């Protein structure tokens, strides 16, 4: 099972999948458009969130970072007049420092991610969408903003006119990405209920990934990030409106139209107008059982669509 | 007052000085021979120890690092299979991360150190001996060792044949160093009771600093690191023996012979054979009062030596 995913919502889905499919059979292709350098460190928010979630170390309340985290680094940074708009937990820093050191030594992001996963007994394969920088930029009413400036520093407040995947035209898919999608053994390809514009589109912006999805023999099923006409968390709904769309699963279906074979829609939303194959369930993933149920519903829809 | 200093012992002397002289009138020229890169971070152990000591943040038991430090970063590094032979506290990391980021952005070590000191209301001027790398290497019975490999990883166990200040021939004195030594307003130049071979010699290895000391109008007074025929802490006595010397203030006097005008000797040691101007006191610096007393004794000896 291949999953295209961003951070929080997608990580819940992948965790749900591990409840019904052996982790070794799951391959997550992860957004790295949010990656950035901060204080000289290479930070990969979505890879980290997925890793923490699958390793059982995630902070379930914040939706990012580690459970039981301490903040003495940040306190010292603040006392030294350093930038404190992006919170780096003491334990969390280990990933960033080790990743940065290994990147500087010439290792690739995919190999580093795999080594981290092994250390924490995470058996899901985690593939960065690309090892090349493809920073997401937001063209907003306040001008061009880097992703974290928009997402963290400005808390998604500025209205977005356009999302830019800077450098995507020169980026190569990460090691294993195309192979995983096109593998004839792959039974289903899921698009997680992550933000289509900020978490999934960056993955699709990497040349070759869209073509691979179209060539894949496995059915492609997206899980709608809309729940009862709103987004569960994050700026999905706000962005949809700013980009001129109603907040509905039909917009999600249209957004992924050429790439997906089916859409899993929340039971609260109206799916009557969808011409695409679809199924409905409660897609709110509060508990682990919820996550497994959503993952199972997506896989069942995919099974229906096997040619 | 100018002080040439290494880490722990020197920091105690400088702190003692601040009890009897306004901090603004004190300039510490600090060993950077122990500086190294670890996990991609630039670490300056002696600058940090001095900064923590003067800012009242030092761990008085360990002799390095911060008081009340937490260790969640190290635990996470260990869980990820990262190197754990050099302990980096969570709060301590802030200095290393911010320093590394500012160095990478093109700032100099002296300016960065001054900014850190300002942030923590440390009014002693702290000057790195050089902004160029002059890594101390130990030629030991086990081969050539980098300073931290010898000092931390091997706990000073291998016998040392020679100490090498790699790159010293190409190094420039740090900004302000020569000016501070030669300044006609400078009333005394002290050499802290730091390890002569590992903490003070690196400073003296930087071309121009020895000449400046000889040209200085202020008297130069060293405080012997020997207390009752032994070193208080660290490998000073062990090194002396390995290099073929008895552990005595006479050896310290001979070591600095051409540079110093006087030597402050511990009252437990025999100073009878010294041809150099000297004074004796209890040089053990356990309490803040001890440190102030030793600083005062050194300054009084210097005053006696004003031409």
A156-213 residue pLDDT tens: 999 999 999 999 999 999 999 999 999 999 999 999 999 999 999 999 999 999 999 9
Half-sphere exposure of B7 (CA within 13 A, CB side): 22
Pairwise CB contact (< 8 Å): B40 & A75: no
* Nearest-angstrom CA–CA distance, B58 and B74: 19
CB A163 within 8 A of CB A201: yes
**Whole-number pLDDT of residue A247:** 92
Cα B131-B136-B138 angle, rounded to 5 deg: 175
Q: Mutation test of the interface with chain B: which of A48, A66, A72, choosing the one with the most B Cβ atoms within 10 A?
A: A72
Pairing of strands A160-165, B27-30: unpaired
Closest-CA residue of B relative to A115 is: B80
Which residues in A lie closer than 8 A to residue B119 (C-beta atoms)?
Answer: 79-81
Q: Which of B124, B157, B123 is nearest to B140 (CA)?
A: B157
* Nearest-angstrom CA–CA distance, A45 and B75: 20
Pairwise CB contact (< 8 Å): B72 & A75: no
Which residues in B lie closer than 8 A to residue A115 (C-beta atoms)?
Answer: 80-81
* Nearest-angstrom CA–CA distance, A143 and A134: 19
CB B239 within 8 A of CB B195: yes
Considering CB atoms only, which of A81, A90, A95 is closest to B119? Answer: A81
How far A98 CA sits from the closest chain B CA (Å)?
6
**Whole-number pLDDT of residue B80:** 97
Considering CB atoms only, which of B70, B81, B93 is closest to A119? Answer: B81
**Whole-number pLDDT of residue A61:** 81
Closest-CA residue of A relative to B97 is: A39
Alpha helix (H) residue ranges in chain A: 8-18, 45-54, 72-79, 92-104, 109-119, 147-148, 177-182, 201-205, 209-215, 236-242, 249-255, 288-304
**Whole-number pLDDT of residue B266:** 96
**Whole-number pLDDT of residue A232:** 78
- Angstrom CA distances, A96 to A38, A51, B63, B241, B270, stand at 10, 13, 28, 44, 54
pLDDT above 90 (res A82): yes
* Nearest-angstrom CA–CA distance, A9 and A52: 13
DSSP 8-class letter at A226: E
Ranges assigned E (strand) in A21-76: 27-30, 36-38, 41-43
- Angstrom CA distances, A216 to A2, A301, B266, stand at 11, 17, 81
One pLDDT digit (tens) per residue for chain B, 307 residues = 999 999 889 999 999 999 999 999 999 999 999 999 999 999 999 999 999 999 999 998 887 899 999 999 999 999 999 999 999 999 999 999 999 999 999 999 999 999 999 999 999 999 999 999 999 999 999 999 999 999 999 999 999 999 999 999 999 999 999 999 999 999 999 999 999 999 999 999 999 999 999 999 999 999 999 999 887 778 899 999 999 999 999 999 999 999 999 999 999 999 998 999 999 999 999 999 999 999 999 999 999 999 7
**Whole-number pLDDT of residue B229:** 87
* Nearest-angstrom CA–CA distance, B133 and A175: 38
How far B78 CA sits from the closest chain A CA (Å)?
9
How far A280 CA sits from the closest chain B CA (Å)?
40
Closest-CA residue of B relative to A79 is: B119
**Whole-number pLDDT of residue A60:** 81
Closest-CA residue of A relative to B51 is: A80
* Nearest-angstrom CA–CA distance, B142 and B135: 18
| ipTM higher than the 0.90 cut | yes
3-state secondary structure of A156: coil
Considering CB atoms only, which of A41, A73, A94 is closest to B94? Answer: A73
How many helices (H) and strands (E) chain B has is answered by: 12, 14
Rg (CA), chain A: 18
Q: Which of A38, A6, A31 is nearest to A109 (CA)?
A: A31
Which residues in A lie closer than 8 A to residue B66 (C-beta atoms)?
Answer: 76
Closest-CA residue of B relative to A97 is: B39
Considering CB atoms only, which of A41, A94, A101 is closest to B73? Answer: A94
Chain A, chain B: beta-carbon pairs less than 8 Å apart: 98
Which residues in B lie closer than 8 A to residue A75 (C-beta atoms)?
Answer: 91
Pairwise CB contact (< 8 Å): B70 & A69: no
pLDDT above 90 (res A64): no
Pairwise CB contact (< 8 Å): A76 & B70: no
- Angstrom CA distances, B110 to B43, B56, B117, B127, B177, stand at 14, 21, 11, 6, 10
Cα of A264 vs its chain's centroid, Å: 17
Closest-CA residue of A relative to B114 is: A80
Residue A263's DSSP bridge partners are A222, A278
3-state secondary structure of B209: helix
Cα of B111 vs its chain's centroid, Å: 19
**Whole-number pLDDT of residue B121:** 98
How far A104 CA sits from the closest chain B CA (Å)?
8
CB A244 within 8 A of CB A21: no
Pairwise CB contact (< 8 Å): A73 & B90: yes
Helix, strand and coil percent figures for chain A, each rounded to 5: 40, 20, 40
**A116/B contact by beta carbon, under 8 A:** yes
pLDDT-derived band at A86, boundaries 50, 70, 90: very high
Pairwise CB contact (< 8 Å): B116 & A80: yes
Q: Mutation test of the interface with chain B: which of A42, A43, A81, A97, choosing the one with the most B Cβ atoms within 10 A?
A: A97
pLDDT above 90 (res A230): no
Q: Mutual orientation of helices B8-18 and B45-54 as an angle, nearest 10°? A: 30
How far B37 CA sits from the closest chain A CA (Å)?
10
**B77/A contact by beta carbon, under 8 A:** yes
**Whole-number pLDDT of residue A262:** 98
**Whole-number pLDDT of residue A88:** 96
**Whole-number pLDDT of residue B62:** 81
Half-sphere exposure of B146 (CA within 13 A, CB side): 12
Q: Mutation test of the interface with chain B: which of A39, A80, A104, choosing the one with the most B Cβ atoms within 10 A?
A: A80
Give the number of other CB atoms < 10 A from CB of residue B61.
7
Q: Mutation test of the interface with chain A: which of B80, B100, B104, choosing the one with the most A Cβ atoms within 10 A?
A: B80
How far A59 CA sits from the closest chain B CA (Å)?
15
**B119/A contact by beta carbon, under 8 A:** yes
**In A, residues 86-115, which contact B (CB 8 Å cutoff)?**
89-95, 97-98, 100-101, 104, 115
* Nearest-angstrom CA–CA distance, B101 and B80: 23
Which is more confident, A41 or A232? A41
How far A80 CA sits from the closest chain B CA (Å)?
5
């Amino acid at each position: 099972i291949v999953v295209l995913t961003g951070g929080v919502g997608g990580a819940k889905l992948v965790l749900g999948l591990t409840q019904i499919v052996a982790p070794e059979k799951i391959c997550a292709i992860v957004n790295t458009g949010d990656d950035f350098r901060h204080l000289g460190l290479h930070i990969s928010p979505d890879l980290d969130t997925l890793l923490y979630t699958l390793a059982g170390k995630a902070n379930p309340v914040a939706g990012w970072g580690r459970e039981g985290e301490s903040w003495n680094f940040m306190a010292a940074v603040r006392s030294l007049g350093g930038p404190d708009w992006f919170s780096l937990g003491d334990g969390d820093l280990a990933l960033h420092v080790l990743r940065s050191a290994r990147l500087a030594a010439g290792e690739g992001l995919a190999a580093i991610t795999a080594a981290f996963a092994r250390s924490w007994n995470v058996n899901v394969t985690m593939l960065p969408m690309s090892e090349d920088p493809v920073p997401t930029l937001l063209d907003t009413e306040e001008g061009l903003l880097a992703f974290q400036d928009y997402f963290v520093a400005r808390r998604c407040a500025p209205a977005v006119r356009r999302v830019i995947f800077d450098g995507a035209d020169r980026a190569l898919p990460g090691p294993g990405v195309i192979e995983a999608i096109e593998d004839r053994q792959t039974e289903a390809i899921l698009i997680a209920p992550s933000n289509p514009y900020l978490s999934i589109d960056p993955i699709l912006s990497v040349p070759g990934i869209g073509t691979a999805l179209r060539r894949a023999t496995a059915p492609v099923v997206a899980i709608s990030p809309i729940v009862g006409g709103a987004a569960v968390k994050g700026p999905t709904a706000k962005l949809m409106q700013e980009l001129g769309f109603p907040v509905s699963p039909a917009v999600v279906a249209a957004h992924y139209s050429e790439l997906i074979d089916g859409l899993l829609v929340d039971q609260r939303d109206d799916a009557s107008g969808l011409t695409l194959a679809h199924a409905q369930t409660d897609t709110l993933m509060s508990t682990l059982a919820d996550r497994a149920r959503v993952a199972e519903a997506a896989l069942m829809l995919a099974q229906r669509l096997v040619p």
